[in-house]
Amino acid sequence: MIENTLRRQFASDNYSGICPEAWQAMNEANRGHALPYGEDEYTQKACDMLRDLFETDCDVYFSFNGTAANSLALASLCRSYHSIIGHTSAHVETDECGAPEFFSGGTKILLAGGKDGKIDIDEVERVAGKRTDIHYPKPRVITITQATEFGTVYSVDEIQSIGETARRLGLKVHMDGARFANAAAALNVPPKEMTWKAGVDVLCFGGVKNGSAVGEAIIFFSRDLSFEFDYRCKQAGQLSSKMRFLSAPWIGMLAGDAWLKHARYANGCAKKLEERLRKIEGICVLFPCQANSVFVDMPLEMSSSLREKGWHFYTFIGDKGVRFMCSWDTADEDIDALVKDIEELKA
Ligand SMILES: *Cc1c(COP(=O)(O)O)cnc(C)c1O
């Protein structure tokens, strides 16, 4: 028996395990045999529940992880000579090892800036209009991340304005929703309002960071864009022969809105943590805390001592930026322990 000696951490929401609802749904899917490759009843039901959730007849697929979901979705929107306009800090640009470019056969990602991790619409226009000649890759998609890599959330109005700009420029809209649940919990609007009704063509809806083990949903609201997507998934090694274990957790998560409950809870933990950190001298909160993460600047000695105390966290924001992230199983005592350790370092 392996003893797990790692305490609950704030490094990422993927440090957490599987939430009870997803675990139970997997357990139920494990009773006996089922058809392989997504032909099973669990997958059918999960797709139907997602269609109900979004109140539209969308096409739904499942992949093992988010990199595959984003890359394959983008590849199906683009030809090799196209380009994708995304934020400088977008996961597809910084954390997917070139997978979107690889799976699309060469589509280039063009970067646009924007405050608090949100793409600036004027920048998008500038990038899209920069060149129209044959020598430059043709813009085809705007990609946005909801919630963003900096824990902020696009409002419905902001998404609508991106959607309108995209339509005017003849572009499609892809949403990286690795933390879509946290954004939905924060905005508290029906999911359709922040997706297809606002102009989103395809959403990669994250399950893993919300509480499942594996399985992201790729949702095409514009169904013509999913042409032969099943072949794309298969070729990329994303067609699970025991698909029910990727899809069944969605049944557990969607039933009774467990997905929202967990996201709301994680967001609430981040808010609590943020309020406590704000009070500590020498610490400065970097972005509005709108989802399940808190980004702070802290002196370098403080962050390295905090690591020595056994805490894990990412520091990819500038020199002194530290990210703390909450998940469905963050406990008040974890927040207390982290804050106490930081306060002690300050003293
Ligand atoms: C975690 C994450 C993903 C998916 O990452 P995988 O490790 O490939 O599952 C995608 N986008 C964002 C913004 C993420 O944070």
Please state the pTM of the whole predicted model.
0.98
Q: Would you place residue 347 in the very low, low, confident or very high pLDDT band (cuts 50, 70, 90)? A: low
**Residue 150 in tokens:** 């900096």
The pLDDT value given to residue 317: 85
Residue 43 CA, ligand 1 centroid: distance in Å: 22
Choose one of 95, 205, 212 to mutate for the ligand 1 pocket test, by most ligand atoms within 8 angstroms of C-beta: 95
**Residue 311 in tokens:** 């805490």
Question: What are the structural domains of the chain?
Answer: 20-257 (3.40.640.10), 259-346 (3.90.1150.10)
Mean pLDDT of 149-155: 98
Give per-residue pLDDT as tens, 182-203.
999 999 999 999 999 999 999 9
Choose one of 176, 203, 323 to mutate for the ligand 1 pocket test, by most ligand atoms within 8 angstroms of C-beta: 176
Amino acid at 207: G
Residue 176 CA, ligand 1 centroid: distance in Å: 8
Number of neighbours of residue 7 by Cβ within 10 angstroms: 12
Distance between CA atoms of 124 and 26, rounded to whole angstroms? 42
Give 72-128 as a DSSP string.
HHHHHH--TTEEEEEETT-HHHHSSTTHHHHHTTSPEEEEE--GGGPPPHHHHHHHH
The torsion defined by the Cα of 83, 93, 217 and 170, in degrees rounded to 10, comes to -20
Strands 108-112 and 82-87: parallel
Percent of the chain with pLDDT over 90: 96
Distance between CA atoms of 190 and 170, rounded to whole angstroms? 27
Q: Pick from 173, 170, 171: which is nearest to 158 by CA?
A: 173
Q: Kindly report the protein residue whose alpha carbon is nearest to atom 14 of ligand 1.
A: 178
The residue whose two tokens read 């920048």 is 123
Distance of CA 171 to the CA centre of its chain: 21
**Residue 282 in tokens:** 């020498």
Q: Most distant CA pair in the chain: distance in Å?
A: 63
Mean pLDDT score of the chain, rounded to an integer? 97
Q: How many CA atoms are closer than 13 Å to the CA of 33, on its beta-carbon side?
A: 2
Distance between CA atoms of 188 and 326, rounded to whole angstroms? 19
Distance between CA atoms of 234 and 63, rounded to whole angstroms? 10
- Report the phi/psi class of residue 98: left, alpha or beta, with left for phi > 0 and alpha for psi in -120 to 50: left
The pLDDT value given to residue 318: 79
**Residue 9 in tokens:** 């951490």
**Residue 243 in tokens:** 């698909």
Residues 213 and 64: beta-carbon distance below 8 Å: no
> Which of 90-99, 142-151, 312-321, 324-333 is the least confident region?
312-321
The pLDDT value given to residue 319: 80
**Residue 110 in tokens:** 């063009």
Residue 133 CA, ligand 1 centroid: distance in Å: 34
Choose one of 15, 67, 109 to mutate for the ligand 1 pocket test, by most ligand atoms within 8 angstroms of C-beta: 67
Give per-residue pLDDT as tens, 294-308.
999 999 999 999 999
Mean pLDDT of 111-129: 97
Runs of H (alpha helix) within the chain: 20-29, 41-54, 66-77, 91-94, 99-103, 121-129, 156-169, 180-187, 229-235, 244-254, 258-278, 300-308, 332-346
Give per-residue pLDDT as tens, 33-61.
999 999 999 999 999 999 999 999 999 99
Over 90: is that where the pLDDT of 316 sits? no
Query: Ligand 1 pocket by C-beta < 6 Å: which residues?
Result: 65-67, 70, 91, 145, 149, 176, 178, 208-209
Q: Kindly report the protein residue whose alpha carbon is nearest to atom 1 of ligand 1.
A: 178
Mean pLDDT of 145-174: 98
Over 70: is that where the pLDDT of 215 sits? yes
Distance between CA atoms of 91 and 95, rounded to whole angstroms? 5
